[in-house]
């Protein structure tokens, strides 16, 4: 098989990187992963909150609309 | 609101309540991402009458409750605004400390009874139940410690620089153009730079963390009349603590009763002498240092014992207040960070401009999109000095290592350079310039000062030999605890009496034998208006003697004669003048007197004493203090003393270290800071001493100096120095005994207490500055040559002379190696004999920029010649060679290097040799040639290489005869 320097360098780099990762970078990776999770969670929470807000808004609008329809004849009669 | 779940009350906040829709949206603490709690809540609500639906959403931490028209309880709820209300999100939640503050009162001005009544306590302490209740109410006795910097933010700060972002952009553009190898190479460079910077910061943080002192763990507390050992975190206002010599105070306490109680408050107030503490109230307006009825958290009991009532814990203590000051102050960016930031921005503009220009030229020549993109990336890469972070880091790390060998740990790496630009050193006196331990300096028995080292006491004739009598009196009249620790005698007590006892021991007197020969019958302490101590002893030949030691003016009034005869008015006047002279010299002076007592000696009379003489003590200068101030002056750096001590003591120290100038007090400082800028600058220039200062005053002076363009280094060790350490350009925590807080905010921490280290650090900083300037000149000139070559070829419509990968190869290997060697050159030994560089001076001055442009153009010319003669491969070979040769021109002037030891001299030749070997490998080895897209070498290639290597040295030698920096 022909020796290909870029492939060799990439392979060597990946191996050395893994060793480094295991020994020294685990705490850092942990922080990176925690921050990533935190970010995703925050985005998910934000999205869900907005969804709830819309749901609340629509529910109230529906209740008001149906409520006013029910009360209108009484109001008109009073007028 | 509160709702019940499984019999427990749980709080929740109403987010929204629509009575029309009969929907209630609640935010429940702890519900977010907690499915189990969500299900339990749903089950609980389902059992309530009138509830139609309860739905928990663990993603938002909210609960939706829909209810029937006449549902009890819920219908009564009021609708709240839709505005979001701050609510602790679990991951942001911090322990809420001291949720409720203890009552704030002028405790020092209140009587013991009033303090007890106000805190609803007794002198027998709180009951355990009451203590538990108060602990819940006031929170634990902790001060929130500064959070260490997270790894992520450390890594982030390495990546968030303009050149790194541009490089990442270039990598993206390379991917778009289909050059994955280039993109990988660029990203490797980014990773390498970030990794090195991260590793250095991390190692420093770990080193400092290992120095952290253990906090005081437990306190002796009276609870319900029983003595208990309680963790300091559980102390509450109203607790009664027992105080003994050596205790570090866990909270601010009000003295209930005291026996010779003194506290070393140097860390908080800067007072070098332990302060006597007593139960009597003092004036409400008394400054911190004069509140003798209070002891403060973080200070230590120096001598005596007593009982005290806790009045402030956790965030309410004075120490916490100083911490707050520190938190308000953000450390200014170091000059290097500022200047490199400036440089980065300019380089970024140049890089983007060059890439844009290249794209325009490419489009004008009708090239394809991928070619244009590749050309733009090449020019962008050529313009960015990729090796700069590595080179700057190398210079700083070399300085850090050399400083570390001298006992200095650099916390903020760029501070190593900032030290070089320091124009003013503000230093604390106690513990920094002086040792913070009293020593007997003068003994004057009427014939001038005696040579203390040549004293030969005669223990067999104590009462007959005046020097022996003086030493023995000082020893016997002092109330210290002497105990043996190993082979050494350890003395604890007030620093003045400790110094006297130490001096007697050092002269050869045996304290234990003397105490046996002169057994003490009783001791009359100092009291209100009486500033002397009388001790009555049995004498060896029978009878009694009284010894007096204290304020000379009062001791003299007790005396009717001195060692030579009766005291007449003239002699008294002479003695008073001598006393004044000693005191004016910053010494603490005591008068000594004695007399034989008639009868059983139960009552020591207040007259008929014989005046023996004066003893004078002082807190001596630290080793090298005067020398470092002198050195600083030689290096064009002004020194200012900041101290909590009396102006007279501070002035005496200033004289001793050879400082001249005005002495300021807080009042004069406040007036001065209101002066117009020009007048303030003039006054600041004359200021040498700031006495009786508070932490705020220190910080204000440092800020005023900085505002007037000075680069300020602050050296200090106490808690009270922390705000100023933070506000200064470089904060230096002095000594291993420096407070944790000082170390936490300092940029540089000195393990040794030798102030000369600061000056050697300044020298190192200046070497860093010199080396960085040389390395920058090299890097920018070489980058400019690449840019000029690539852009010139593009404008002329020639083939691309260098590919992005070749440019990266040059910038990373062949440029970085010599660059690092230049950054690590040994320094000029006379670096401290010149004034500091002006604070605003850029890293590349105008003449330096002109030189860079000239040299860059010349090198581009050589590369262009290669391009004309042998096409792009020869251009790559010659340009790289000429750059390597140029690095030798950028070295320090030879006359500077001649006087240096050989270490480091080898570095540049070795690094140039290494880089040349790498370059030859790139030109000749087939795998590398393939990666870099180079053909097989020819004679012309090696010829170009040889010419390139020697040409710069020849050119610099011809016109001027020698290389200039």
Q: By the 8 A CB rule, do B355 and B373 touch?
A: no
Which residues lie across from B614 on neighbouring strands?
A: B444, B591
Residue B963 has pLDDT above 50, yes or no: no
ipTM reported for the complex, 2 dp: 0.73
Inter-chain CB proximity B23 and A60 less than 8 Å? yes
* Rounded mean pLDDT, B200-212: 61
Band (B84; pLDDT cuts 50, 70, 90): very low
Please indicate whether residue B693 or residue B210 has the higher confidence score (pLDDT): B693
* Rounded mean pLDDT, B22-36: 88
- Shortest CA distance to B421 belongs to which of B823, B770, B750, B734? B770
Q: Does B128 touch chain A (CB under 8 A)?
A: no
For B57, the closest of A13, A48, A63 (CB atoms) is: A48
d(CA B936, nearest CA chain A) in Å: 17
Q: In chain B, which residues have their Cβ closer than 8 Å to the Cβ of A60?
A: 18, 20-21, 23
B428 is catalytic: yes
Interior angle at CA A42, CA A40 and CA A46, nearest 5: 120
Q: In chain B, which residues have their Cβ closer than 8 Å to the Cβ of A27?
A: 151
3-state secondary structure B485-525: ECCEEEEECCHHHHHHHHHHHHHCCCHHHHHHHCCEEEEEC
Residue A74's pLDDT is what?
Answer: 43
d(CA A24, nearest CA chain B) in Å: 9
The residue of B151, B186, B203, B206 whose CB has the most chain A CBs within 10 angstroms, and thus the best one to mutate to test that interface, is B151
For B21, the closest of A49, A52, A60 (CB atoms) is: A60
Cα–Cα distance for residue pair B268/B264, rounded to 1 Å: 9
Residues 6+ away with beta carbon under 8 Å from B955: B858
Residue B86 has pLDDT above 50, yes or no: no
Helix extents (H) in chain A: 5-23, 26-78
Structure tokens at B425: 């050193």
Q: What is the pLDDT of residues B319-351, one digit of tens each?
A: 777 777 766 666 666 677 777 777 778 888 888
Residue B591's pLDDT is what?
Answer: 94
Q: In chain B, which residues have their Cβ closer than 8 Å to the Cβ of A38?
A: 91
Mean pLDDT by 10 residues, chain A (79 residues): 77 82 75 89 93 93 81 44
Structure tokens at B902: 């050989």
DSSP secondary structure string for all residues of B258-286: EEEEEEE-HHHH--SSPEE--SS---TT-
Q: Does B21 touch chain A (CB under 8 A)?
A: yes
Inter-chain CB proximity B57 and A28 less than 8 Å? no
Q: Does B150 touch chain A (CB under 8 A)?
A: yes
Q: Say which range, B371-375, B588-592, B680-684, has the weakest mean pLDDT.
A: B371-375
Q: Does B953 touch chain A (CB under 8 A)?
A: no
All domains of chain B, ordered by start, with CATH? 2-92 (3.30.70), 107-144+217-328 (2.70.150.10), 406-436+622-761 (3.40.50.1000), 439-618 (3.40.1110.10)
Q: Does A50 touch chain B (CB under 8 A)?
A: no
Residue B836 has pLDDT above 70, yes or no: yes
Cα–Cα distance for residue pair B56/B45, rounded to 1 Å: 10
Q: Are strands B62-67 and B565-566 parallel, antiparallel or unpaired?
A: unpaired
d(CA B91, nearest CA chain A) in Å: 9
Residue B507 has pLDDT above 60, yes or no: yes
Inter-chain CB proximity A63 and B155 less than 8 Å? no
For A35, the closest of B25, B152, B184 (CB atoms) is: B152
Band (B205; pLDDT cuts 50, 70, 90): low
* Rounded mean pLDDT, B263-278: 76
Q: By the 8 A CB rule, do B21 and A60 touch?
A: yes
Candidate list B179, B264, B428, B855, residue with the active-site label:
B428
Q: Does B151 touch chain A (CB under 8 A)?
A: yes
Please indicate whether residue B893 or residue B944 has the higher confidence score (pLDDT): B944
Structure tokens at B285: 């307006």
d(CA A42, nearest CA chain B) in Å: 9
Q: By the 8 A CB rule, do A14 and A6 touch?
A: no
Q: In chain B, which residues have their Cβ closer than 8 Å to the Cβ of A44?
A: 59
Q: In chain B, which residues have their Cβ closer than 8 Å to the Cβ of A10?
A: 184
d(CA B127, nearest CA chain A) in Å: 45
Q: In chain B, which residues have their Cβ closer than 8 Å to the Cβ of A63?
A: 18, 20-22
Q: In chain A, which residues have their Cβ closer than 8 Å to the Cβ of B32?
A: 45
Q: By the 8 A CB rule, do B382 and B186 touch?
A: no
Nearest residue on chain A to B195, judged by CA atoms? Answer: A25
The residue of B21, B90, B812 whose CB has the most chain A CBs within 10 angstroms, and thus the best one to mutate to test that interface, is B21
Cα–Cα distance for residue pair B629/B652, rounded to 1 Å: 15
Residue B309's pLDDT is what?
Answer: 93
Residues 27-46 of A with CB under 8 A from B: 27-28, 31-32, 35, 38, 41, 44-45
Q: Does A62 touch chain B (CB under 8 A)?
A: yes
Q: In chain B, which residues have their Cβ closer than 8 Å to the Cβ of A6?
A: 181, 931
Residues 6+ away with beta carbon under 8 Å from B352: B166, B380
Q: Are strands B662-664 and B638-642 parallel, antiparallel or unpaired?
A: unpaired
Q: Does B59 touch chain A (CB under 8 A)?
A: yes
Q: Does A21 touch chain B (CB under 8 A)?
A: no
Q: For residue B547, give Cα distances in angstroms to B526, B530, B558, B662.
A: 14, 15, 11, 41
Residue B194's pLDDT is what?
Answer: 80
d(CA A73, nearest CA chain B) in Å: 18
Nearest residue on chain A to B90, judged by CA atoms? Answer: A38
Band (B99; pLDDT cuts 50, 70, 90): very low
The residue of A3, A6, A23, A43 whose CB has the most chain B CBs within 10 angstroms, and thus the best one to mutate to test that interface, is A6
For A5, the closest of B184, B198, B931 (CB atoms) is: B931
Residue B925 burial class via C-beta count within 10 angstroms: exposed 0-12, middle 13-18, buried 19 and up: middle
Q: What is the pLDDT of residues B707-749, one digit of tens each?
A: 888 889 998 887 778 888 888 989 998 876 677 778 778 888 8
Please indicate whether residue B431 or residue B772 has the higher confidence score (pLDDT): B772
Inter-chain CB proximity A59 and B21 less than 8 Å? yes
Inter-chain CB proximity A38 and B150 less than 8 Å? no
Q: In chain A, which residues have their Cβ closer than 8 Å to the Cβ of B21?
A: 56, 59-60, 62-64
- Shortest CA distance to B11 belongs to which of B36, B34, B35, B31? B31
Cα–Cα distance for residue pair B176/B373, rounded to 1 Å: 8
Buried-state track B288-325, b at ≥16 Cβ within 10 A, e below 16: bbebbbbbbbbbbbbbbebbbbbbbbbbbbbbbebbeb
Residue owning tokens 């003669």 = B869
- Shortest CA distance to B494 belongs to which of B449, B549, B453? B549
CA B668 from centre of chain? 27
CB contacts < 8 Å between A and B, how many? 59
Residue B207's pLDDT is what?
Answer: 59
Q: In chain A, which residues have their Cβ closer than 8 Å to the Cβ of B33?
A: 41
Cα–Cα distance for residue pair B931/B442, rounded to 1 Å: 80
Please indicate whether residue B467 or residue B483 has the higher confidence score (pLDDT): B467
In the three-class reduction of DSSP (H, G, I as helix; E, B as strand; rest coil), residue B610 is classed as strand
pLDDT-above-90 percentage for chain B: 11
Nearest residue on chain A to B24, judged by CA atoms? Answer: A56
């Amino acid at each position: 098989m022909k020796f290909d320097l870029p492939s060799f360098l990439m392979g060597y780099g990946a191996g050395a990187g893994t060793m480094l990762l295991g020994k020294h970078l685990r705490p850092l990776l942990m922080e990176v992963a925690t921050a990533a999770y935190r970010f995703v969670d925050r985005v998910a929470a934000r999205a869900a909150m907005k969804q709830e807000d819309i749901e609340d808004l629509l529910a109230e609008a529906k209740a008001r609309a149906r409520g006013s329809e029910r009360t209108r004849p009484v109001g008109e009669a009073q007028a | 609101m509160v709702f019940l779940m499984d019999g427990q009350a749980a709080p929740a906040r109403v987010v929204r309540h629509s009575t029309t829709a009969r929907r209630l949206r609640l935010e429940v603490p702890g519900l977010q991402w907690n499915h189990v709690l969500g299900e339990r809540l749903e089950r609980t609500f389902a059992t309530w009458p009138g509830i139609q639906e309860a739905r928990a959403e663990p993603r938002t931490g909210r609960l939706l409750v829909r209810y029937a028209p006449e549902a009890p309880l819920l219908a009564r709820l009021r609708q709240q605004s839709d505005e979001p209300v701050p609510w602790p999100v679990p991951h942001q939640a911090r322990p809420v400390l001291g949720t409720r503050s203890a009552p704030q009162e002028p405790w020092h001005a209140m009587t013991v009874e009033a303090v007890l009544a106000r805190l609803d306590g007794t002198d027998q302490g709180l009951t355990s139940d009451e203590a538990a209740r108060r602990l819940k109410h006031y929170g634990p006795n902790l001060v929130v410690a500064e959070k260490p910097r997270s790894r992520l933010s450390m890594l982030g700060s390495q990546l968030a620089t303009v050149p790194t972002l541009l490089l990442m952009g270039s990598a993206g553009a390379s991917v778009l153009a289909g050059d994955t190898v280039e993109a990988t190479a660029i990203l490797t460079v980014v990773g390498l730079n970030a990794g090195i910077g991260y590793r250095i910061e991390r190692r420093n943080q770990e080193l400092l963390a290992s120095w952290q002192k253990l906090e005081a763990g437990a306190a002796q507390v009276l609870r319900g009349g029983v003595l208990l050992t309680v963790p300091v975190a559980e102390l509450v206002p109203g607790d009664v603590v027992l105080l003994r010599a050596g205790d570090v105070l866990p909270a601010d306490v009000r003295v209930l009763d005291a026996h010779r109680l003194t506290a070393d408050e140097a860390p908080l107030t800067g007072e070098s002498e332990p302060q006597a503490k007593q139960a009597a109230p003092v004036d409400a307006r008394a400054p911190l240092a004069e509140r003798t009825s209070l002891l403060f958290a973080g200070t230590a009991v120096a001598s005596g014992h007593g009982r005290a009532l806790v009045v402030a814990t956790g965030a309410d203590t004075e120490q916490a207040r100083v911490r707050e000051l520190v938190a308000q102050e953000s450390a200014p960016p170091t000059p290097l960070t500022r200047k490199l930031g400036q440089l980065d921005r300019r380089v970024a503009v140049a890089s983007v401009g060059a890439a844009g220009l290249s794209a325009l030229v490419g489009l004008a020549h009708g090239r394809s999109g991928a070619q244009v993109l590749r050309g733009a990336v090449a020019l962008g890469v050529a313009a960015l000095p990729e090796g700069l972070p590595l080179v700057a880091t190398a210079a700083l790390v070399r300085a850090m290592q050399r400083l570390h060998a001298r006992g200095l740990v650099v916390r903020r790496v760029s501070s190593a350079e900032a030290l070089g630009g320091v124009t003013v050193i503000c230093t604390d006196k106690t513990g920094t310039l002086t040792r913070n331990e009293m020593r007997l300096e003068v003994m004057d028995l009427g014939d001038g000062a005696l040579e203390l080292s040549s004293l030969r006491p005669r223990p067999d004739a104590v009462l007959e030999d005046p020097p022996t009598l003086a030493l023995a009196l000082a020893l016997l009249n002092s109330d210290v605890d002497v105990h043996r620790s190993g082979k050494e005698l350890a003395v604890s007590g007030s620093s003045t009496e400790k110094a006297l006892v130490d001096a007697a021991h050092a002269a050869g007197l045996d304290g234990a034998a003397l105490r046996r020969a002169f057994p003490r019958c009783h001791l009359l302490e100092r009291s209100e208006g009486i500033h002397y101590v009388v001790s009555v002893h049995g004498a060896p030949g029978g009878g009694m003697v009284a010894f007096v030691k204290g304020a000379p003016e009062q001791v003299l009034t007790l005396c009717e004669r001195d060692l030579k005869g009766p005291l007449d008015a003239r002699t008294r006047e002479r003695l008073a003048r001598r006393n004044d002279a000693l005191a004016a010299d910053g010494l603490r002076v005591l008068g000594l007197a004695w007399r034989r007592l008639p009868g059983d000696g139960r009552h020591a009379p207040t007259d008929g004493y014989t005046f023996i003489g004066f003893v004078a003590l002082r807190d001596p200068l630290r080793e090298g203090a005067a020398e470092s101030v002198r050195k600083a002056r030689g290096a064009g750096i002004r020194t200012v003393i900041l101290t909590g001590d009396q102006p007279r003591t501070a002035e005496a120290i200033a004289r001793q270290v050879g400082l001249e100038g005005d002495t300021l007090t807080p009042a004069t400082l406040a007036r001065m800071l209101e002066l117009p800028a020009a007048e303030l600058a003039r006054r600041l220039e004359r200021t040498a001493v700031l006495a009786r200062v508070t932490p705020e005053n220190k910080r204000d002076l440092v800020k005023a100096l900085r505002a007037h363009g000075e680069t300020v280094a602050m050296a200090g060790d106490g808690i009270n120095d922390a705000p100023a350490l933070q506000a200064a350009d470089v904060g230096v925590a002095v000594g291993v005994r420096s407070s944790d807080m000082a170390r936490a905010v300092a940029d540089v921490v000195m393990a040794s207490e030798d102030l000369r280290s600061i000056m050697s650090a300044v020298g190192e900083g200046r070497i860093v500055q010199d080396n960085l300037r040389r390395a920058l000149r090299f890097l920018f000139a070489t980058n400019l040559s690449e840019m000029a070559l690539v852009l010139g070829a593009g404008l002329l419509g020639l083939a691309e002379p260098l590919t992005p990968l070749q440019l990266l190869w040059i910038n990373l290997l062949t440029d970085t190696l010599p660059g690092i060697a230049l950054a690590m050159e040994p320094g000029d030994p006379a670096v401290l004999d010149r004034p500091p560089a002006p604070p605003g001076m850029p890293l590349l001055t105008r003449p330096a920029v002109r030189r860079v442009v000239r040299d860059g153009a010349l090198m581009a010319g050589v590369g262009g010649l290669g391009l004309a003669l042998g096409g792009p491969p020869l251009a790559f070979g010659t340009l790289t060679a000429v750059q390597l040769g140029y690095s030798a021109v950028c070295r320090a002037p030879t006359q500077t290097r001649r006087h240096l030891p050989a270490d480091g001299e080898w570095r540049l030749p070795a690094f140039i040799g290494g880089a040349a070997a790498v370059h030859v490998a790139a030109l000749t080895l087939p795998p590398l040639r393939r990666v870099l897209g180079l053909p097989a070498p020819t004679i012309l290639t090696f010829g170009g290489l040889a010419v390139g290597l020697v040409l710069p040295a020849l050119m610099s030698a011809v016109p001027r005869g020698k290389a200039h920096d």
